[in-house]
């Protein structure tokens, strides 16, 4: 369970949602965009995680969330819709490495996402237990699983946007699971907000600091490379903005000479500042890490093929007659959700 430090207008334990279908137990964490609670599905009597849309600066009157601070009713409502869309999109996936979303709904002038409750710890918590870093083989094993899940997301034209050790959970059943997807993060009231609450320096590439810059699979790849950098060295890399100002990013091998050369090089390539020169696909990154074993590849393919509901286009309500891609190569270029 996460260490919860910031308390600002959280729902009190015992609060009911969706006509009593879910009961809130306690908060697990509060980020720039929402509050995550442990809860219970009262009908099935099983633990769930409930994420509430609650952007920083807003407050609560009774149980109702009120848009405030830099959020006006339009920006608040747009970001809330994006949050709901994210719930709908995530609900389409059925992969062990992607947190399962059961339900999403609006209430209290805000939105909620009900997810499976993962018993386990985040990779950030694991790092704390292991004196800050992991041995190469263990770190690569976790990254292979994250990469597998990320490849499925990318095939559906969906980006995570906030990959870092805090957003990867190691479940007690051995699954390595991506949580905390951040599509709503694109809706920021201003640039300063984006810098202070939506980005995690060290993991976010330079394109995420801009407003009109293009995102792509390479955006998540930078963050995945940074995450592996952190797992191996015990330090988050210097931020992209510092690098842009001339601060040098040490290679993994410069900090930890015992790490394999190909791993250090793969990370450096995933973290190239210029997006055109950066590693372009998760598969390429896993290949460079020598993680491209046939078992992994076939598992990824069968997961994606068997999941006929995995179709990011369907969530936008497009009819069959509208321009909907028939093959994987035809989605509109650079259109990411
Ligand atoms: N599905 C889940 N199961 C169990 N714990 C979770 C789950 N989702 C999130 N958490 C815990 O709550 C913390 C905060 O959730 P997260 O979705 O990362 O939101 P944020 O970082 O915006 O606060 C996570 O670091 C993790 O400890
Ligand atoms: Mg998080």
Average pLDDT over residues 287-307: 58
CATH 3.30.200.20 location in the chain: 6-116
Query: How far does residue 120's CA lie from ligand 1's centre (Å)?
Result: 11
Which mutation among 54, 179, 197, 198 tests ligand 1's pocket best, with the greatest number of atoms within 8 A of CB?
A: 179
Say if residue 323's pLDDT is above 70.
no
The CA distance from 183 to 85, in Å, is 9
Please report the pLDDT score of residue 314 as a whole number: 33
Which mutation among 25, 27, 28 tests ligand 1's pocket best, with the greatest number of atoms within 8 A of CB?
A: 28
Average pLDDT over residues 45-70: 92
Say if residue 102's pLDDT is above 90.
yes
49 lines ligand 1 (CB under 6 A): yes
pLDDT in tens, 103-113: 999 999 999 99
Say if residue 210's pLDDT is above 80.
no
Say if residue 227's pLDDT is above 90.
yes
Please report the pLDDT score of residue 292 as a whole number: 74
125 CA: nearest ligand 1 atom? 27
Ligand 1, atom 20, residue with closest C-alpha: 31
pLDDT in tens, 195-207: 455 678 889 998 8
Query: How far does residue 27's CA lie from ligand 2's centre (Å)?
Result: 13
Predicted confidence band at 186 (pLDDT cuts at 50, 70, 90)? Answer: low
Which mutation among 180, 182, 197, 227 tests ligand 1's pocket best, with the greatest number of atoms within 8 A of CB?
A: 180
Say if residue 183's pLDDT is above 90.
no
**Ligand nearest to the backbone CA of 169:** 1
Please report the pLDDT score of residue 336 as a whole number: 66
28 lines ligand 1 (CB under 6 A): yes
120 lines ligand 1 (CB under 6 A): no
99 CA: nearest ligand 1 atom? 1
289 lines ligand 1 (CB under 6 A): no
Measured CA to CA in angstroms, residue 106 lies from 17, 89, 210 at distances of: 10, 16, 30
Task: Report long-range pairs for 119-122 (Cβ below 8 Å, ≥24 apart).
Answer: 119/171, 119/172, 119/173, 120/169, 120/170, 120/171, 120/172, 120/173, 121/1, 121/169, 121/170, 122/2, 122/165, 122/166, 122/167, 122/168, 122/169, 122/170
Tell me the catalytic residues: 162
* 6-116 placed in CATH 3.30.200.20: yes
pLDDT in tens, 240-295: 999 999 999 999 999 999 999 999 999 999 999 999 999 999 999 999 999 976 44
Average pLDDT over residues 117-129: 97
Ligand 1, atom 13, residue with closest C-alpha: 29
pLDDT in tens, 149-172: 999 999 988 889 899 999 999 999
pLDDT in tens, 13-25: 999 999 999 999 9
Q: Domain 120-323: which CATH class?
A: mainly alpha
Measured CA to CA in angstroms, residue 174 lies from 142, 228, 317 at distances of: 10, 18, 36
Of the chain, the percentage scoring pLDDT greater than 90 comes to 66
Please report the pLDDT score of residue 43 as a whole number: 97
Please report the pLDDT score of residue 3 as a whole number: 44
Q: Are 189 and 68 in contact (CB under 8 A)?
A: no
Query: How far does residue 122's CA lie from ligand 1's centre (Å)?
Result: 8
Ligand 1, atom 17, residue with closest C-alpha: 180
CATH 1.10.510.10 location in the chain: 120-323
Closest among 98, 99, 115, 86 to 149, alpha carbons compared:
98
Average pLDDT over residues 184-196: 50
Ligand 1, atom 22, residue with closest C-alpha: 31
Predicted confidence band at 211 (pLDDT cuts at 50, 70, 90)? Answer: low
36 lines ligand 1 (CB under 6 A): yes
Relative orientation angle of helices 294-306 and 136-155, to the nearest 10 degrees = 30
The CA distance from 291 to 45, in Å, is 40
Say if residue 67's pLDDT is above 70.
yes
Say if residue 176's pLDDT is above 50.
yes
Say if residue 303's pLDDT is above 80.
no
Measured CA to CA in angstroms, residue 303 lies from 152, 157, 185, 221, 277 at distances of: 8, 16, 28, 21, 30
pLDDT greater at residue 56 or residue 282: 282
């Amino acid at each position: 369970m996460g260490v919860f430090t910031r308390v600002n207008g959280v729902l009190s334990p015992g609060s009911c949602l969706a006509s009593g279908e879910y009961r809130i137990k306690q908060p697990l964490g509060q980020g720039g965009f929402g509050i995550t609670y442990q809860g219970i599905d009262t009908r099935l009597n099983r633990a769930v995680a409930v994420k509430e849309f609650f952007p920083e600066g807003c407050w609560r009157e009774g149980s109702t969330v009120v848009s405030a601070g830099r959020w006006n009713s339009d920006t608040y409502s747009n970001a809330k819709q994006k949050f709901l869309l994210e719930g709908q999109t995530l609900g389409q996936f059925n992969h062990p490495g992607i947190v399962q979303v059961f339900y999403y709904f609006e209430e209290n002038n805000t939105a909620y996402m009900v997810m499976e409750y993962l018993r386990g710890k985040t990779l950030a918590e694991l790092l704390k237990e292991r004196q800050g870093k992991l041995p190469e083989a263990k770190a690569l094993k976790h990254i292979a699983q994250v990469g597998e899940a990320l490849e499925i997301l990318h095939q559906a034209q969906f980006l995570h946007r906030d990959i870092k050790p805090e957003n990867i959970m190691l479940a007690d059943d051995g699954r390595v699971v991506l949580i905390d997807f951040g599509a709503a993060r694109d809706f920021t009231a201003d640039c300063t907000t984006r810098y202070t609450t939506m980005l995690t320096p060290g993991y976010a590439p330079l394109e995420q600091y801009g407003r009109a810059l293009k995102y792509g699979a390479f955006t998540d790849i930078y963050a995945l490379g940074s995450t592996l950098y952190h797992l191996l060295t015990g330090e988050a890399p210097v931020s992209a903005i510092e690098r842009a100002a001339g601060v040098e990013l040490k290679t993994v091998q410069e900090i930890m000479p015992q790490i394999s050369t190909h791993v250090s090089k793969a990370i450096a390539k995933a973290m190239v500042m210029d997006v055109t020169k950066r590693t372009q696909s998760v598969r390429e990154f896993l290949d460079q890490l020598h993680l491209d074993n046939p078992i992994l590849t076939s598992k990824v393919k069968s997961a994606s093929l068997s999941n006929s509901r995995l179709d990011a286009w369907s969530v936008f309500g497009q009819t069959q007659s509208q321009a909907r891609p028939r093959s994987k190569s035809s989605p509109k270029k650079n259109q990411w959700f």
